[in-house]
Chain A
């Protein structure tokens, strides 16, 4: 039923356009019913897109190759789960998913945040409508997922690198993150348009921003895991422009989540926060543009499309429009308070923001410079790993250190004496950790050593924060330790959820430093019976075998792994050959040691006709801490996201929805 899909998208485009016109008119003329009607249009747009997505999903599941999209990205033999996930395997489907998530977020945000004030929400609706109208215009007129053709016997199949469980979750997570950043952007613009630049827009979008940031973070970690297991070069992040495209809005949103606390606590940084929201949203659009326009020759750029100029035009419109609006409202955004001391919590947040934005803009320049150079001179250049690694160390290591310093410094100002007291134990523990690492021979990589020492400092800070907080609570309440700890977290969810996230970043830093600074590898051509020695491992190649799977021929080498004379595992790295897609994929074998966090990573780089293999083995120390960091990150984010009834009540009193308690 492609006609139903098409009709649903046309209806969505009409509704989104109506939401823009009626929304602006309703807000400007202060007509309540017109504003409500625009709000309903946004909700109805979501239902329309859901119908369109349902039609495409049904066609994918039924292998209805009369849909050009279905035949381009699936085949009859493709397992059902990949038929479903082919929804975001191509450009048109991805844009449809973007629109579905956007209208879903938009409808939920305006319905759930009505209490933020009808006047503010009335201005938010047309802003959301503009973004929805743009994406629905793309899927109706430029990149329709409902183009039809005379059905061929079979489809072209799904790109083999997308046939991975991680790829089933990675793109939707990223989209939930990218698109989620539309909500704080729309509320920020709504606040500027209405001239109500008080904290209501921040209060209304706090959880949406946190959720979008969480999804973006988890999406990137899933992408890293996918790259590690599927792409098969032994790493997990290659500073690919499309990977960077997801990292940049995450960094901007991280900066915003910190600086917004300064606005809430001190009433400062209002202009800066507006600019960060604009930056994060523009970068999320830019990320989608990079992934979907075909402008990049990247492993992620699965398409050569015609949407590039549209996207560039829209990004320019968003950036210019929002900056103009911020500029016009500057008098309303000026803060009356000033930074009292350079040694205060708010100052550390400011330093953290400067470093995060500097890192973000450095990456942005690394991504855009080759594009600009090629567009202007026709010359092709690449900004490679050394550029990014240098700036990651230059900005990332001080950021790691600040993560430990921030929680130890009081708001407003801190005296040297109190700083000396609070820093004593974390600094001592960090120095002991650094010294022990040098003694253990980890001094071969200076950045690695610094990262470990700073990580020890941050870890000590986090543990001390929980311990001191629990002790302070117990001194008043006499509660048992677990109860006091639980109450401490429950009453300060954002703070302690944030500390758990800091713990995740420490694990991430240790994992990245360990696996990138201390990894070892060896390559060799092996005949059956021959062995390769790597550190304390002996890897013996036994032979090859081939099996036929549903849509691929799987060739696997058998490798016996010995350590200390004992056979500890048999591993099977190999290759899959996909006849329909006419592609060959690398299927690595990984043995994880969860006690040490280390991976033994085997790659069959080439299978030769005479039965020999070109084989590579890598030891990635501590790499599993990166995946563990993902779980801790999720946990911390959920703690911070969890609703706080006391906070809700306080806000209800502030905004006059509840009377002040006597």
Chain B
């Protein structure tokens, strides 16, 4: 029983070592981890900004429809949010015209 247990333990250890070492045993040089450069980080920050602005617009529309936001408040807020979304979209893609924001989901 002891021998069987030790053999099984050794097999487990060997299997674990093989599994762990597998990525290191592939041929060729180790590739670098994909790390986003500054431009990519900026793009990501702007994409988050864009999504936030679009989600806020969607939320505002819904709150307006459900009566949580009055017509007066809606008019003030929607303008601010559309500007914020347009700015984020333009920063992401300088060719985006302002009107596009209204048609986004």
> Do the two chains bind?
yes
Asked if B5 and A7 sit within 8 Å, CB to CB, the answer is yes
Size of the A side of the interface (Cβ < 8 Å), in residues, is 63
* A475 interface contact, C-beta 8 A: yes
CB distance from B37 to the nearest CB of A (A): 12
* A469 interface contact, C-beta 8 A: yes
Question: CA of A33 to CA of B24 in the docked complex: distance in angstroms?
Answer: 6
Asked if B19 and A411 sit within 8 Å, CB to CB, the answer is no
Asked if A119 and B20 sit within 8 Å, CB to CB, the answer is no
- The A233-279 residues at the B interface (CB cut-off 8 A) are 264-267
Q: Which residues of A contact B65 (CB under 8 A)?
A: 472, 475-476
Asked if A654 and B69 sit within 8 Å, CB to CB, the answer is no
Task: Give a binary string over B44-56; 1 marks a CB under 8 Å from any A CB, 0 the rest.
Answer: 1101110110011
Asked if B73 and A418 sit within 8 Å, CB to CB, the answer is yes
* A118 interface contact, C-beta 8 A: yes
Asked if B55 and A11 sit within 8 Å, CB to CB, the answer is no
Q: Which residues of A contact B56 (CB under 8 A)?
A: 265, 411-412
| Stretch of A36-44, A381-389, A591-599 contacting B (4+ beta carbons < 8 Å) | A36-44
Question: CA of A417 to CA of B63 in the docked complex: distance in angstroms?
Answer: 14
Asked if A40 and B23 sit within 8 Å, CB to CB, the answer is yes
Question: CA of A196 to CA of B35 in the docked complex: distance in angstroms?
Answer: 10
Question: CA of A32 to CA of B31 in the docked complex: distance in angstroms?
Answer: 6
Apart from A7-B8, A32-B33, what 18 extra A-B contacts exist at CB < 8 Å?
Answer: A4-B5, A11-B12, A18-B20, A26-B33, A32-B30, A33-B30, A33-B31, A37-B21, A117-B36, A118-B34, A199-B48, A265-B52, A411-B59, A411-B60, A414-B73, A417-B72, A656-B43, A656-B44
Say yes or no: A422-B1 contact (C-beta < 8 A), given A11-B12, A119-B36, A411-B59: no
* B91 interface contact, C-beta 8 A: no
Q: Which residues of A contact B63 (CB under 8 A)?
A: 410-411
Q: Which residues of B contact A122 (CB under 8 A)?
A: 33
Task: Give a binary string over B63-105; 1 marks a CB under 8 Å from any A CB, 0 the rest.
Answer: 1011111101100010000000000000000000000000000
Say yes or no: A418-B69 contact (C-beta < 8 A), given A34-B30, A43-B19: yes
Asked if B22 and A40 sit within 8 Å, CB to CB, the answer is yes
CB distance from B88 to the nearest CB of A (A): 12
CB distance from A278 to the nearest CB of B (A): 23
Q: Which residues of B contact A43 (CB under 8 A)?
A: 19
* A86 interface contact, C-beta 8 A: no
CB-CB nearest in chain A for B43: A656
CB distance from A420 to the nearest CB of B (A): 10
CB-CB nearest in chain A for B51: A654
Say yes or no: A33-B26 contact (C-beta < 8 A), given A3-B5, A3-B6, A119-B36: yes
Say yes or no: A654-B20 contact (C-beta < 8 A), given A11-B13, A119-B34, A414-B73: no
Say yes or no: A118-B33 contact (C-beta < 8 A), given A199-B48, A410-B60: yes
* A655 interface contact, C-beta 8 A: yes
Q: Which residues of B line the A interface, CB within 8 A? A: 1-2, 4-6, 8-10, 12-13, 15-16, 19-24, 26, 30-36, 40-41, 43-45, 47-49, 51-52, 55-56, 59-60, 62-63, 65-70, 72-73, 77
Across the A-B interface, the 10 shortest Cβ-Cβ residue pairs? A7-B9, A3-B5, A36-B23, A472-B65, A468-B66, A4-B5, A44-B16, A1-B5, A30-B33, A418-B70
Q: Which residues of B contact A4 (CB under 8 A)?
A: 5-6, 8-9, 12
Question: CA of A476 to CA of B58 in the docked complex: distance in angstroms?
Answer: 14
Question: CA of A199 to CA of B77 in the docked complex: distance in angstroms?
Answer: 25
Asked if A414 and B69 sit within 8 Å, CB to CB, the answer is yes
Q: Which residues of B contact A196 (CB under 8 A)?
A: 36, 41
CB distance from B47 to the nearest CB of A (A): 5
* A479 interface contact, C-beta 8 A: no
Question: CA of A578 to CA of B17 in the docked complex: distance in angstroms?
Answer: 48
Asked if B16 and A119 sit within 8 Å, CB to CB, the answer is no
Question: CA of A410 to CA of B77 in the docked complex: distance in angstroms?
Answer: 11
Asked if A267 and B48 sit within 8 Å, CB to CB, the answer is yes
CB distance from B77 to the nearest CB of A (A): 6
CB distance from B67 to the nearest CB of A (A): 6
CB-CB nearest in chain A for B10: A7
* A48 interface contact, C-beta 8 A: yes
Q: Which residues of A line the B interface, CB within 8 A? A: 1-4, 6-8, 11, 14-15, 18, 26-27, 30-37, 40-41, 43-44, 47-48, 51, 117-119, 122, 196, 198-199, 264-267, 408-415, 417-418, 421-422, 465, 468-469, 471-472, 475-476, 650, 653-656
CB-CB nearest in chain A for B7: A4
CB-CB nearest in chain A for B72: A415
Say yes or no: A7-B13 contact (C-beta < 8 A), given A414-B69, A469-B66: yes
Q: Which residues of B contact A408 (CB under 8 A)?
A: 68
Asked if B23 and A33 sit within 8 Å, CB to CB, the answer is yes
CB distance from A423 to the nearest CB of B (A): 10
Question: CA of A36 to CA of B34 in the docked complex: distance in angstroms?
Answer: 12
Q: Which residues of B contact A118 (CB under 8 A)?
A: 33-34
Question: CA of A40 to CA of B18 in the docked complex: distance in angstroms?
Answer: 10
CB-CB nearest in chain A for B35: A119
Q: Which residues of A contact B8 (CB under 8 A)?
A: 1, 4, 7
Q: Which residues of B contact A18 (CB under 8 A)?
A: 20
CB distance from A479 to the nearest CB of B (A): 15
Q: Which residues of A contact B5 (CB under 8 A)?
A: 1-4, 7
Question: CA of A614 to CA of B34 in the docked complex: distance in angstroms?
Answer: 72
Asked if A30 and B32 sit within 8 Å, CB to CB, the answer is yes
Q: Which residues of B contact A415 (CB under 8 A)?
A: 70, 72-73
Q: Which residues of B contact A41 (CB under 8 A)?
A: 16, 20
Best-surrounded residue of A51, A422, A465 (most CB of chain B within 10 A): A422
Q: Which residues of B contact A44 (CB under 8 A)?
A: 15-16, 19-20
Asked if A15 and B20 sit within 8 Å, CB to CB, the answer is yes
Asked if A48 and B67 sit within 8 Å, CB to CB, the answer is no
CB-CB nearest in chain B for A661: B105
Question: CA of A31 to CA of B33 in the docked complex: distance in angstroms?
Answer: 6
Asked if A654 and B48 sit within 8 Å, CB to CB, the answer is yes
Question: CA of A417 to CA of B67 in the docked complex: distance in angstroms?
Answer: 11
Asked if B16 and A11 sit within 8 Å, CB to CB, the answer is yes
Q: A8: which of B9, B21, B62 is its contact (CB, 8 Å)? A: B9
Question: CA of A199 to CA of B68 in the docked complex: distance in angstroms?
Answer: 28
Question: CA of A36 to CA of B33 in the docked complex: distance in angstroms?
Answer: 10
CB distance from A17 to the nearest CB of B (A): 12
CB-CB nearest in chain B for A5: B5
CB-CB nearest in chain A for B70: A418
Question: CA of A512 to CA of B70 in the docked complex: distance in angstroms?
Answer: 38
CB-CB nearest in chain B for A38: B20
